[in-house]
């Protein structure tokens, strides 16, 4: 499923998020620039702001810093600024430059290829796509000089988001009103995802666990954490506040996600327990070890000394294992259990095992994940599901039809796709079930 089919664009968080420089020049419409930055950040973009000197007379750099999460770039000839992310670095960093509002003066500067302030210098030094959203008095807009500048800019490959006509801040009526921030953001990077999880605290586990045998050895599994991290990013992009409890993985922490690192299953349970009661969603993607060594040696376990008898005895070694806690079942059985989704990674009887998990653990949805060798062969790259960027799952959940004793089980197969897009679909399927459950809990409490 791509974003066209989704009807909205979710940032491909799995890959790099779009890097956008927002330039603000000195027009009255600068009061809309913070909203534009927020709309871009909501769509997963990374934003850096450049302000002209005149722009800072209309809104403060502090406001722009707060909404973008980064210091604002203002001065071209400042040694301190150049020592940080200088104008050339900023120009290289940008994948897209949007100037909103773009004043008549700014358009003139760009059309002439000037570079006597930071904004024009960054534009001139960048290979990024440049987009301008002009805003000005209607006479200024219609003036032949402005129109000539716009033609020159279009000839240079600059995209002009033509202003709307209507009532203006100066009291006149006509063309020159800047497009609304939501529309500019949509034109730049696509429509925003619906806020399906607005106000929801989502707790997500990811990665493998590590069950120590001694200080240097342990039992673990092939989980890379990619599916769990993709779930965290998708939940975030749908508006949730995400806490990610992660086993040992080599993945970057997704932006705007709170990550807590753990190692063993028991540590994971402890971290999950601390957050479960304040969470409305729980998505258990981590591949948690069912068993752990009964004892953990304080020092590295050594081979026996090399006597003949010891050598014979050391051909075999037994490990005693004890059962680990079942984190998903523990959360799903809480009195005020969050809406819970469990992943069932299986190499055989995938659906039968998933059905059993759904019925026995009291979870709301299971994502059955075949991870055997056939799955490896089925991926384009030949990569294993563990560690690969693609996956396919079958969702199982109890349907509204069917009685309490034997509820009908709904089964939905989600085709192989990028793990992030798969996470998006899982949340889209879960959201109505979550709403149904919340409604049922509410009416039961009455």
Q: Which positions are catalytic?
A: 170
**Closer Cβ to ligand FMN, 170 or 441, answer by number:** 170
CB of residue 26 to ligand FMN, shortest distance in Å: 3
How many residues in the chain?
Answer: 446
Give the nearest distance from C-beta 262 to ligand FMN in angstroms. Answer: 50
Angle between the N-to-C axes of helices 61-68 and 33-42, in degrees from 0 to 180, rounded to the nearest 10 = 10
Taking every pair of C-alpha atoms in the chain, what is the biggest distance, in angstroms?
Answer: 101
Cα 288 to chain centroid, rounded: 23
**Between residues 72 and 365, which has the closer beta carbon with respect to ligand FMN?**
72
DSSP string, 72-83: PB--SS-HHHHH
Q: Tell me whether residue 53 or residue 195 sits nearer to ligand FMN (CB atom).
A: 53
Residue 6, CB half-sphere, CA atoms under 13 Å: how many?
A: 22
What Cα–Cα distance (Å) separates residue 312 from each residue in 27, 301, 302, 318, 319? Answer: 86, 17, 15, 14, 18
Sequence-separated (6 or more) residues with CB below 8 Å from residue 24: 30, 33, 49, 50, 51, 52, 55, 59, 64, 99, 100, 101
Using DSSP's 3-state secondary structure scheme, residue 241 falls into strand
Q: DSSP labels for 10-32?
A: ---TTSPPPEEEEEE-SSGGGGG
Cα 254 from Cα 108, distance rounded (Å): 40
Residue 166 Cβ, how far from ligand FMN at the closest point, in Å?
14
Task: Identify which of residues 172 and 400 has a Cβ nearer to ligand FMN in the complex.
Answer: 172
Tokens (6 digits) for 412:
């939905």
Residue 96 CB, shortest distance to ligand FMN, in Å, is: 20
Taking the least distance from each CB to ligand FMN, the nearer of 33 and 103 is: 103
Instruction: Report in angstroms how near the CB of residue 365 gets to ligand FMN at its nearest.
Output: 51
The burial class, CB within 10 Å (0-12 / 13-18 / 19+), for 174 is: middle
Q: Which is nearer to ligand FMN, 52 or 340 (CB)?
A: 52
Q: Are 11 and 43 in contact (CB under 8 A)?
A: yes
The token pair that represents 140 in the structure block: 């200024």
Number of neighbours of residue 85 by Cβ within 10 angstroms = 15
**Within a 13 Å sphere around the CA of 53, how many CA atoms are in the beta-carbon half?**
5
Between 55 and 204, name the residue whose CB sits nearer to ligand FMN.
55
Interaction site with ligand FMN (CB under 6 A): 25-29, 52, 54-55, 103-106, 135-136, 140
Collect all residues with Cβ–Cβ distance below 8 Å to 303 and sequence separation of at least 6: 314
CB of 134 to ligand FMN, least distance (A): 7
Q: How far is the CB of 158 from ligand FMN (least distance, A)?
A: 15
């Amino acid at each position: 499923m791509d974003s066209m089919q989704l009807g909205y664009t979710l940032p491909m968080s799995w890959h790099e998020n779009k890097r956008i420089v927002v330039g603000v020049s000195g027009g009255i419409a600068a009061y809309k620039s913070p909203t534009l930055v927020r709309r871009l950040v909501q769509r997963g973009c990374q934003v850096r702001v450049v302000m002209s000197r005149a722009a800072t007379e209309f809104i403060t750099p502090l406001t722009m810093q707060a909404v973008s999460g980064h210091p604002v770039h203002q001065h071209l000839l400042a040694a301190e600024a150049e020592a940080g992310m200088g104008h050339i670095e900023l120009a290289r960093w940008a994948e897209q430059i949007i100037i909103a509002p773009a004043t008549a003066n700014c358009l003139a500067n760009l059309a002439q290829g000037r570079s006597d302030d930071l904004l024009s210098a960054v534009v001139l030094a960048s290979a990024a796509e440049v987009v301008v959203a002009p805003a000005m008095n209607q006479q200024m807009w219609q003036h032949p000089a402005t129109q000539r500048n716009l033609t020159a800019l279009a000839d240079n490959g600059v995209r002009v988001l033509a202003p709307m006509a209507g009532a203006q801040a100066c009291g006149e009526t006509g063309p020159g009103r800047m497009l609304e921030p939501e529309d500019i953001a949509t034109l730049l990077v696509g429509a925003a995802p619906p806020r399906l999880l607005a106000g929801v605290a989502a707790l997500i586990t990811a990665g493998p666990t590590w069950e120590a045998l001694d200080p240097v050895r342990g039992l673990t599994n092939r989980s890379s954490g990619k599916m769990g991290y993709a779930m965290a990013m998708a939940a975030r992009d749908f508006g949730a506040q995400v806490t990610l409890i992660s086993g040992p993985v080599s993945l970057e922490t997704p932006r705007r996600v709170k990550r807590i690192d753990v190692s063993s299953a028991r540590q994971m349970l402890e971290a999950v327990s601390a957050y479960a009661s304040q969470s409305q969603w729980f998505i258990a993607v981590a591949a948690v070890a069912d068993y752990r060594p009964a004892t953990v040696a304080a020092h590295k376990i050594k081979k026996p000394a090399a006597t003949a008898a010891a050598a014979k005895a050391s051909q075999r070694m037994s490990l005693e294992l004890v059962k680990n806690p079942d984190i998903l079942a523990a959360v799903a059985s809480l009195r005020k259990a969050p809406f819970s989704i469990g992943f069932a990674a299986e190499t055989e009887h995938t659906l039968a095992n998933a059905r059993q998990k759904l019925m026995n653990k009291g979870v709301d949805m299971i994502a059955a994940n075949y991870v055997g060798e056939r799955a490896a062969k089925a991926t384009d790259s030949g990569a294993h599901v563990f560690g690969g960027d693609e996956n396919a799952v079958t969702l199982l959940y109890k349907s509204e039809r069917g009685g309490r004793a034997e509820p009908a089980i709904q089964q939905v197969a989600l085709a192989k796709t990028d793990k992030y897009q798969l996470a998006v679909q899982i949340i889209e399927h879960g959201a109505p079930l979550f709403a149904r459950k919340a409604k049922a809990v509410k009416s039961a409490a009455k």
